[in-house]
Chains A and B, each alone.
Chain A
């Protein structure tokens, strides 16, 4: 259940960021008057696949810095593979135009950074709340309100 909740949270964050990216893409980078209705299904489908890649990190085992670095790199490459593959399949970009591929790669990098930043900010807020509770817990303990 925790895994499902975790994946759903990841899916929500990725979807939100992809929607923003599509909006920027279709209004600023490659302005278009209309967007196909099919994109409404393509976005969540690709976001779901990207969210699943979070399972590349072990759930219940601690990781060293090197392993974490390698897994993050693999994670990033997997996301590039999924988005470029799906984008090619759904005609989001032209593979024969370097500029089009470059825009896709930059967009993926920006979304990856944005999702990571949002996630980090949420975790930092959680840590702040936990530290407040920890201080309260230890103060109560020092006063003898909580026994050893």
Chain B
């Protein structure tokens, strides 16, 4: 595939044009990744709003109808529901790990078996999360297994 990068004059809007004979899975992933890479999430903490790149999030967790974004050390709240985040971050590093969590695969240090068909994901910040057996196939698919 040929990749062309052109310098733009000041003031002109940046644009990515994909010239192809049809959208295959790889191209779709690329489009999702481009969208997600540029997109920022609006989150809040102590009544202040922040815009953060999704790639900085380790995982999202739903607790009592509220959804929190866990970064390396900080925790923010997002107004998006877990399924909305899942849809918005489809094709990126994020995957549904249980009914209440969406995990960033890029922030997983290692995986180990847990009781009863589940797996434990050790995160790079030291936290440990459970991948419930319902979502283990999703994780395997993401890893190409």
Contacts and interface: CB of A to CB of B under 8 A. Distances in A.
A145 to B, nearest CB: 11
Contacts of B99: 60-61
A133 B115 CA distance: 22
Contacts of B49: none
A141 B106 contact: yes
B108 A134 contact: yes
Interface string B18-44: 000000000000100110110000000
A35 interface: no
Number of chain B interface residues as a range = 35 or more
Contacts of A2: 134, 137
A62 B117 contact: no
Main secondary structure of the interface of A (DSSP, over half): helix
B125 interface: no
Interface stretch (A12-20, A22-30, A92-100, A121-129): A121-129
Q: Determine the main DSSP class of B at the interface with A.
A: mixed
Contacts of B78: none
Interface string A1-43: 0100010000000000000000000000000000000000000
A147 interface: yes
Given A60-B132, A62-B98, A62-B130, A6 B113 contact: no
Interface residues of A, number: 27
Contact of B143 (A54, A68, A133, A147): A133
B112 A127 contact: yes
A59 interface: yes
Contact of B145 (A124, A129, A148): A129
Contact of B106 (A72, A129, A131, A138): A138
A90 interface: no
A134 B110 contact: yes
Pick from B33, B37, B112, B113 the residue with the most CB of A within 10 Å: B113
